Amino acid sequence: MTLPAARGRPRSAATTAAILQAAYALMAGQGLAATTIDAVARAAQVSKMTIYKWWPSREPLLIDAFLHHAAATLPLAREGHGAARIRAHVADYIAALDSDLGRVQLAVIAECIAQSGSAASFFARYLSHRRAALAQIIAEGQADGSIARRAAPEAIYDALYGGLFYRHLFGIAPLDAEALLALALV
Amino acid sequence: MTLPAARGRPRSAATTAAILQAAYALMAGQGLAATTIDAVARAAQVSKMTIYKWWPSREPLLIDAFLHHAAATLPLAREGHGAARIRAHVADYIAALDSDLGRVQLAVIAECIAQSGSAASFFARYLSHRRAALAQIIAEGQADGSIARRAAPEAIYDALYGGLFYRHLFGIAPLDAEALLALALV
DNA sequence: CCATTAAGTGGACGGTAAGTCCATTTAATG
DNA sequence: CATTAAATGGACTTACCGTCCACTTAATGG
């Protein structure tokens, strides 16, 4: 399983990280409009060509920048089971929405829409895995009796997380989960 | 109630309509990235200065372009009552999402995010009225017994329409309402 | 008819980002 | 030391932004 001995100068992990960090920080701090490729190159102290060498356009770069942080910030695994596990994760999700990660997520989604017309690429690279994993947890909760609702797990996920995301996107306060949890689970 | 006799050359309704139509058509046909102020001016056969005279930036222009069509396309009023009225409107909403209007709505939301960090301005100028009106219909349905769910009408709205919007935004098929309606109303 | 008022025109301008090109330097391998 | 590929930095074309200004057009009132 060893790689066939890389030739030439190896790709710098530090440079890659600097680019992704700079893109993330710009989205979080200055917003999407200020997160140009030029600005990322300046902030990361990297040549613009290096960015274009590895990312064909801004959309995949921003998705990568988001994933670079989301993986470490929003762990999916958690002890507990069924309804309790969903409630715990929903609390984490709300906290994440109300942080840099939530702002950056919206910026990434906006870039996807601007380029592709929808955020399907973001779903494919990130959300689909979460939706599948959480639907699985919901199904377990239905099996062990902690979730009374009999609807399809994906529908429950969409109502619960879609409802929360809707409020986040449109700035509808308060961003609390109690009513939606009762609706989706009980 | 007569206006105080307008002075000077009156604003041309045809010019205003041409601008809004051009912006809408560009968003629907070419996407947000191609919907520049220059492109709108060219398509509407209007001077760029005329656009800047009435709209300070692209965000309010695109919102106006959306509203210009949405008002005529997605009527809120409908006969029937309670659950039946919600089901009918949900069907209309799904049809609208799966049309030009749905694409344009996403483009407008993306522009709001890019400029403001969230789509709160779009909510204030459009969605908030729909949410309030539909929450009212949901409350009536709870009162007349056609909606069994006891949750807050706004929470039911968020779960139902937020869930549908979520699937639209992320390209999750199928975009059907049955499971979400059962979850939200029964 | 004419002065006034404001809408709309069209061209020009400086600034900035996109995306590409190329010669050069740097860091690894055999 | 020759080879390979990453990374640099500057130059360049194209396009849009936002603004400016002199001008024309369409209405009003005296």
- pLDDT at res. A5: 65
Q: pLDDT digits over A157-172, tens only?
A: 999 999 999 999 999 9
Query: Which superfamily does A68-185 belong to?
Result: Tetracycline Repressor, domain 2 (1.10.357.10)
**Confidence check: pLDDT of B62 > 60:** yes
**Confidence check: pLDDT of A46 > 80:** yes
State the CATH class of domain A13-57.
Answer: mainly alpha
Q: Give the span between the Cα atoms of B185 and B153, in whole angstroms.
A: 10
Q: How far is CA A141 from CA A76, A93, A155, B151, in A?
A: 16, 19, 14, 21
Express the helix, strand and coil content of chain A in percent, nearest 5 each.
70, 0, 30
Within 8 A of B168 by CB-CB distance, chain A residues are 118
Q: pLDDT digits over A76-126, tens only?
A: 767 788 999 999 999 999 999 999 999 999 999 999 999 999 999 999 999
CB contact under 8 Å between B109 and A160, yes or no, is no
In this structure, of A115-129, B4-18, B70-84, B139-153, the range with the lowest mean pLDDT score is B70-84
Taking the CB of residue A5, how many other CB atoms lie within 10 A of it? 5
Nucleotides of C under 7 A from a protein CB: 4-12, 16-22, 26-30
Mutate to test the interface with A, among B115, B166, B168, B185 (most CBs of A within 10 A): B166
Averaged pLDDT, A146-157 = 97
Domain ranges of chain B: 13-56, 68-185
Q: Note whether B58 and B34 are within 8 A (CB).
A: no
Looking at the structure, give the CATH architecture of the domain made up of residues B13-56. Answer: Orthogonal Bundle (1.10)
Q: Give the span between the Cα atoms of B52 and B163, in whole angstroms.
A: 37
Q: How far is CA B118 from CA A28, A111, A167, B36, B129, in A?
A: 12, 13, 10, 20, 18
- Give the residue, B73 or A124, on which the prediction is more confident: A124
Angstrom distance, A9 CA to D2 C1': 14
Q: Residue holding tokens 């329409």?
A: B161
Q: Note whether B61 and B51 are within 8 A (CB).
A: yes
Averaged pLDDT, B134-163 = 97
- Token pair of B53, please? 């005279």
Averaged pLDDT, B112-138 = 97
Averaged pLDDT, B24-48 = 98
